[in-house]
Amino acid sequence: MMINHHLKFLLFSLIFKTGFSAEISVFVLTGDSVELDIQTKLPEFEELTWIYNKLESIVKYYSKFNIVNSYPAYNNRAILNETTFSLILENMQKKDSGLYTARINGQIINDIVTYRISVLDAVKAPVLTVNSVMFSSNSCTVNFTCRTQDLVINSNYQNNTCSQEEVTSQENNTLILSCSEELIMCNYSNPVSWKKDETKIKQLCVNKENEETKAKPTLLWLYVLIAAIVMLILVGIGIVIHRHTRKTGSRNEDNQL
Ligand SMILES: *[C@@H]1O[C@H](CO)[C@@H](O)[C@H](O)[C@H]1NC(C)=O
Ligand SMILES: *[C@@H]1O[C@H](CO)[C@@H](O)[C@H](O)[C@H]1NC(C)=O
Ligand SMILES: *[C@@H]1O[C@H](CO)[C@@H](O)[C@H](O)[C@H]1NC(C)=O
Ligand SMILES: *[C@@H]1O[C@H](CO)[C@@H](O)[C@H](O)[C@H]1NC(C)=O
Ligand SMILES: *[C@@H]1O[C@H](CO)[C@@H](O)[C@H](O)[C@H]1NC(C)=O
């Protein structure tokens, strides 16, 4: 049976043995497969059964005859490995969440291992919204919001950083805010998946800064233009006055003659 590596990794990284019962908690992404191991060395037995929610048999192995009986509920989705007796469950759906127990029957009856499986959908991506950008004397302040269907973080980015924040919902979904010199990042996760939204600080702060420094040159050009026009007008008036005085001057000279 093909079980992809990432899955096995997930399975092992998400195993927590609780103190009292030998219940192992496993989170599975909807549609994925999962392999449930026996965990220990088995004593002699006549039958080994994987049971769902302590009520329903999924597969039964008879050691005397070396045969496997699969029950209809999981027909093609449950496969027993006859070497290791691990149970492979394919295409897991939310309704498959629950307890999975391996039980042996023979001289002794014993529950070997119990898994508590939670099948979860992948989280939807968070949305990072910039509310405002303020730029003053070399410091850029960005006010922003990270939002998911059930969680919100509102914060400010200042001095190349922001205060790291982490909030968790009732469903144990987590939203983490982190910032670096380069970006603001919102990371939304549950035990089987994570998605992020991020924004580059340079694009926000440097563009804003450029706008302001660009604003000055355009103003300067305007001043130069106005000055030039004023000078042209002055020169024009000067020429007119000059010609006028020269004409009247020459006329006066004529009169005197
Ligand atoms: C059963 O497990 C053994 C050992 O991990 C492996 O080599 C074998 O391919 C498995 N068989 C099936 C049907 O998955
Ligand atoms: C961000 O700006 C909003 C209004 O624009 C304000 O209500 C909020 O307090 C600001 N957030 C922070 C963390 O200062
Ligand atoms: C940002 O840094 C400057 C000096 O580097 C400091 O004077 C100022 O208080 C800081 N602002 C905040 C909000 O930490
Ligand atoms: C959230 O996690 C806590 C502790 O890990 C657990 O007790 C609780 O049942 C979880 N809640 C849900 C909805 O999975
Ligand atoms: C997002 O959070 C998850 C769960 O905490 C973590 O595994 C993942 O590496 C984080 N992603 C980034 C880009 O930091």
Question: What CATH number did the domain enclosing 57 receive?
Answer: 2.60.40.10
Q: Are residues 144 and 47 in the same domain?
A: no
Lookup: tokens for 147:
């939002």
Residue 95: pLDDT band (50, 70, 90) is very high
Question: Which ligand 3 atom minimizes the distance to the CA of 158?
Answer: 13
Instruction: Examine residue 82 and state whether it is found in any structural domain, yes or no.
Output: yes
**Cβ of 208 less than 6 Å from ligand 5:** no
Q: Which residue range is the domain that position 196 belongs to? A: 127-206
Q: Which ligand is nearest to the CA of 186?
A: 5
Q: Are residues 19 and 106 in the same domain?
A: yes
**The pLDDT of residue 242 is above 50:** yes
Higher local confidence (pLDDT), 96 or 216:
96
Q: Which residue has a Cα nearest atom 2 of ligand 2?
A: 143
**The pLDDT of residue 55 is above 60:** yes
Task: Report pLDDT for 213.
Answer: 57
Q: Are residues 108 and 149 in the same domain?
A: no
Q: Are residues 142 and 172 in the same domain?
A: yes
Question: Which tens digit of pLDDT belongs to each residue from 177-194?
Answer: 999 999 999 999 999 999
Q: Are residues 113 and 137 in the same domain?
A: no
Q: Which ligand is nearest to the CA of 197?
A: 5
Question: Which tens digit of pLDDT belongs to each residue from 118-154?
Answer: 999 999 999 999 999 998 777 889 999 999 999 999 9
Q: Are residues 95 and 40 in the same domain?
A: yes
Instruction: Examine residue 99 and state whether it is found in any structural domain, yes or no.
Output: yes
| Substitution candidate for ligand 3 out of 136, 138, 139 with most atoms within 8 A of CB | 139
**The pLDDT of residue 4 is above 60:** no
Lookup: tokens for 224:
């130069």
Q: How far is CA 76 from CA 96, 98, 220, in A?
A: 14, 19, 77
Select from 138, 144, 158 the least CA-distant residue to 209.
138
Lookup: tokens for 45:
């037995």
Q: Are residues 9 and 112 in the same domain?
A: yes
Q: How far is CA 181 from CA 114, 129, 161, 177, in A?
A: 47, 18, 6, 14
What pTM does this model have? 0.71
Q: How many domains does the chain contain in total?
A: 2
Instruction: Examine residue 243 and state whether it is found in any structural domain, yes or no.
Output: no
| Mean pLDDT value across the chain | 85
Q: Could you tell me the sign of the dihedral formed by the alpha carbons of 52, 57, 58, 61, in that order?
A: positive
Nearest 5°: the CA angle 108, 61, 66 is 110
| Range in 59-63, 70-74, 203-207 the model is least confident about | 203-207
User: Which region holds residue 183: left if phi is over 0, alpha if psi is between -120 and 50, else beta?
Assistant: beta
Instruction: Examine residue 92 and state whether it is found in any structural domain, yes or no.
Output: yes
237 three-state secondary structure: helix
**The pLDDT of residue 12 is above 90:** no
**Cβ of 189 less than 6 Å from ligand 5:** yes
**E-only strand ranges, the chain:** 16-17, 23-29, 34-36, 47-52, 56-62, 67-70, 78-80, 87-89, 98-105, 110-120, 127-136, 139-147, 152-157, 165-168, 174-179, 183-190, 193-200
Instruction: Examine residue 96 and state whether it is found in any structural domain, yes or no.
Output: yes
CA distance 193 to 183: 22
Q: Are residues 103 and 64 in the same domain?
A: yes
* Alpha carbons within 13 A on the beta-carbon side of 191: 20
How many A from CA of 130 to the centre of ligand 2? 11
| Substitution candidate for ligand 4 out of 25, 167, 172 with most atoms within 8 A of CB | 172
**Cβ of 70 less than 6 Å from ligand 3:** no
Q: Are residues 74 and 115 in the same domain?
A: yes
CA distance 120 to 77: 18
**Cβ of 71 less than 6 Å from ligand 5:** no
Q: How far is CA 223 from CA 217, 220, 226, 246, in A?
A: 10, 5, 5, 34
Q: Are residues 65 and 84 in the same domain?
A: yes
Select from 115, 114, 143 the least CA-distant residue to 129.
143
Higher local confidence (pLDDT), 31 or 224:
31
